Structure 1
Amino acid sequence: MRMALIVGINHYEHGGSLYGCVDDAHAVKAVLERHGDGSINFDCRMFTGTGPTDRVDRSLLKDRVNDLFTAQTDIALFYFAGHGHIEATGGYLLATDSRRGDEGLSLSDVLTMANNSPSRNKIIILDSCHSGIAGTPPAPGNLASLAEGLTILTASSAEQYATEENDRGVFTTLLVDALHGGASNLTGDITPGSIYAHVDQSLGAWEQRPIFKTNVRQFVSLRKVSPPIALDELRRLTELFPRQGYEFELDPSFEPESKGRDADMPAPVPENTRKFAVLQRYNRLNLVVPVDAPHMWHAAMQSKSCRLTALGEHYRRLVEKKRI
């Protein structure tokens, strides 16, 4: 069972309003509810603060976070988009009725609830200013304190603001893109780590810097999408490359096209052309490269070979260990 609590607050009674947080919450809910093939993923509950009659007060926010992290689930995910505050006593998530920064929900309280949660995996994703302090005690020099199975992903460091662009949070826009498949691996899995890498690589050195903290022992997939290559073809890595460092020998019989073929070259062999089609798909995914040839076509026509890249060898080992 997977549960997600999704909160987006635009309206603040005692502070400046935001514009993209509610839309961001809707976008996160939409992508988390289903896997790429339409099958059920997270059971989502969403709360939004859009105005005086649609609000997320501090008591409601704290109660719902507590409900999430006291449930016994495979994954408990908390997403928050709204104002954040930091001071000497730590960081806070501001609710609709917060009159001042320290009247928000304390991130120390959120961390305590998550650390004590019976859920196997706990994911906290924060798109708020100064959210990078989450998981770190306020005293200078203290290290983050995360229970096993807890991951925190934040839009910015403790010192930075989380920015909006085109009425959407910059961080959440990248987060949603990652969940839609931008951060998937070759098996179609999207993990917290791959999401962080996607967001981190998309932001420049002068922009807000995302923060990633984790203490996990097992692979955690937040969403599955269609893989870029069929898994049965990926599993053929060990058939075509039976050992590390192996080079697959090619010749013109692997190339199906007759164009550019000399008269003394062997004709295409259907079994070989089928293998070559798989090798070319590996090449497009940076799993395989030709040896001493600019392209796979040249490698075949010049009777060269191809070999696995470091990424290809990684997936070959996964197949060999029956992990794919």
Structure 2
Amino acid sequence: MRKALIVGIDHYESLTNLAGCVNDAFAVKAAIERNSDGTLNFASPQVLTGVSSAQCVTKRDLKDAVRQLFADDSEIALFYFAGHGYIEDTGGFLCAGDSSTGDDGLALSEVMQLANTSRARNKVIILDSCHSGAAGNSTMTAGLAELSDGVTILTASTANQNSYETPGGAGVFTSLLVDALNGAAANLVGDITPGSVYAHIDQSLGPWAQRPVFKTNVKTFVSLRKAEPPISLGDLQALTRHFPAPDYNLQLDPSFEPERSSEQEADPSIPAPDPVNTTTFAVLQNYVKVNLVRPVDAPHMWHAAMQGKSCELTVLGQHYWALVDKGLI
């Protein structure tokens, strides 16, 4: 069972209203509800949105929903929040719609208490709010995070930074988060993990922009979503067939390359394309596209084949070769 609580608050009774948090919440819901093949991922995520006085997300609403999220032993309990954040010397807060001073919001320490004591196997907390990097920080020791087993935190900014919006009103962080969940952070088997999401966001933000924060205490990363893999599973599993060893050099010749000039076709010294070899070569070209294979002493695979060169596994290719060899893929 995968549970998700998604909160977006634009309307505040006393604080400045926001513009894009509700849209961000629905964008996250759309991204995680199903995998790319249409299968259910997080079934029926709970969505709380604050859009008006008649639909105000109060602190009581927010705390009750977070408590319910972390109440059982689900495989994943994911909490996403977009709205105002506040910090003072006693810690950080998520501002509910009825917050008036900031420190009357839901304390991050309370969120962490519920997550740290939850029986859920994986607790993922994603916060797009100002000062959200304070989540998980020890109240006693500066620079120390207190996370129980299975807890992961991903935040839009550090404890001392604001979280910014795009000119269209969407959160900069959430826009990158949704991009990552939609496949930009997928590995070669299509899994999108909290670590790969953070890497995508971190690499997309410049050194002078808000800095995302990633904290985790997990033994293995859980997949947040399955995307369309950039290479077929069959081709990936064939790595060990085409390369008997990770340092193997696969010798090529012109019979691997089906495309050639009219002069080359007329040259009797150049072997004609061989159907078995050209089929293999098409797979090798797929490997090159995802940085698993590279030509040796040639600028492109076409040159490697026509010049009788070879190709080899990259470092990434050797990593996936080992995973296939061990039966992990």
Q: For this structure pair, what is the TM-score category when the shorter chain's length is used for normalisation?
A: over 0.9
Q: 1:274: which partner in 2? A: 279
SS at match of 1:197: helix
Conserved? CA contact 2:294–2:313, under 8 Å:
yes
**Greater mean deviation of Cα atoms: 260-269 or 57-66:** 260-269
Q: Which residue of structure 2 lines up, in the alignment, with residue 257 of structure 1?
A: 259
What is the correspondence of 1:232-251 to structure 2 with a 5 Å cutoff? 232-251=234-253
Displacement of 1:323: 1.1
Structure 1 CA distance, aligned partners of 2:174 and 2:152?
17
Deviations, residues 83-137 of structure 1 (Å, cap 9, x unaligned): 0000000000000111211100000010010000100100000000000000002
1:30 corresponds in structure 2 to: 30
The alignment partner of 2:70 has SS state of: helix
How many Å separate the matches in 2 of 1:320 and 1:36?
27
Matched residue SS, 1:152: strand
CA distance in 2, matches of 1:175, 1:257: 41
Q: Does the aligned pair in 2 maintain the 1:153–1:213 contact within 8 Å?
A: yes
Q: Which residue is 2:208 aligned to?
A: 206
Q: How much has 1:219 moved relative to structure 2?
A: 3.0
Per the TM alignment, residue 139 of structure 1 is displaced from its structure 2 partner at its CA by 4.0
Match of 2:17 in 1: 17
Size of the aligned set, in residue pairs, is 324
For residue 24 of structure 2, what is the amino acid of its counterpart?
D
Once residues 163 and 259 of structure 2 are traced to their aligned partners in structure 1, the CA distance between those partners, rounded to angstroms, is 54
Q: How many Å separate the matches in 1 of 2:272 and 2:60?
A: 75
In structure 1, give the amino acid aligned to 2:322. Answer: R
CA contact (8 A) 2:7 2:49 kept: yes
RMSD: 0.9
Q: Counterpart in 1 of 2:171?
A: 169
Q: Which residue is 2:54 aligned to? A: 53
Rounded Cα–Cα distance in structure 1 between residues aligned with 2:246 and 2:232: 22
Counterpart residue number, 1:113: 114
SS of the equivalent of 1:103 reads coil
| Residues 189-238 of structure 1, C-alpha deviations (whole Å, 9 max, x = no match) | 10000000110011001110000000111231000011111100110000
Q: Is the 8 A contact 1:238 1:319 kept in 2?
A: yes
CA contact (8 A) 2:194 2:221 kept: no
Partner of 1:133: 134
Distance 2:268 2:19 in 1: 68
Aligned partner of 1:149 in structure 2 is 150
Aligned to 2:80: 79
In structure 1, the partner of 2:221 is: 219
Aligned partners of 2:158 and 2:298: how far apart in 1?
Answer: 46
Residue of structure 2 equivalent to 1:321: 326
Deviation at 1:138, TM superposition (A): 3.5
Partner of 2:194: 192
Q: Any conservation in 2 of the 1:12–1:96 contact (CA below 8 Å)?
A: yes
> Following the alignment from structure 1 to structure 2, what is the Cα–Cα distance between the partners of residues 233 and 226?
14
Question: Which shifted more, 257-266 or 234-243?
Answer: 257-266
User: Who is 1:67 aligned against?
Assistant: 68
1:83-98 alignment to 2 at 5 Å? 83-98=84-99
Give deviations 1:134-172, integer Å, cap 9, x for gaps.
000244524101111100000000000000111100000
1:164 counterpart SS class = coil
Amino acid at match of 2:190: G
**Which AA in structure 2 matches 1:306?**
C
1:72 offset after TM fit, Å?
Answer: 1.5
Residue number in structure 1 paired with 2:299: 294
Preserved CA contact (<8 Å) 1:93 1:107: yes
Q: CA deviation at 1:82?
A: 0.3
Structure 1 residue 9, shift from structure 2 partner = 0.3
2:181 aligned with 1:179: yes
Unaligned runs of 5+ in 1: none
Q: Indicate conservation of the 8 Å contact 1:88/1:138, yes or no.
A: no
Q: Which amino acid letter does the alignment assign opposite residue 230 of structure 1?
A: S
Instruction: Give the aligned residue type for 1:129.
Output: C
Report the CA distance shift for 1:135/1:49 in structure 2 as closer, same or farther (over 3 A): same
AA aligned opposite 2:28: V
Q: Calculate the TM-score normalised by the size of structure 2.
A: 0.97
> Equivalent residue of 1:168, what SS?
coil
Q: Quick one: percent identity of the two aligned structures?
A: 60
C-alpha distance in 2, partners of 1:258/1:8? 57
TM-score by structure 1 length?
0.98
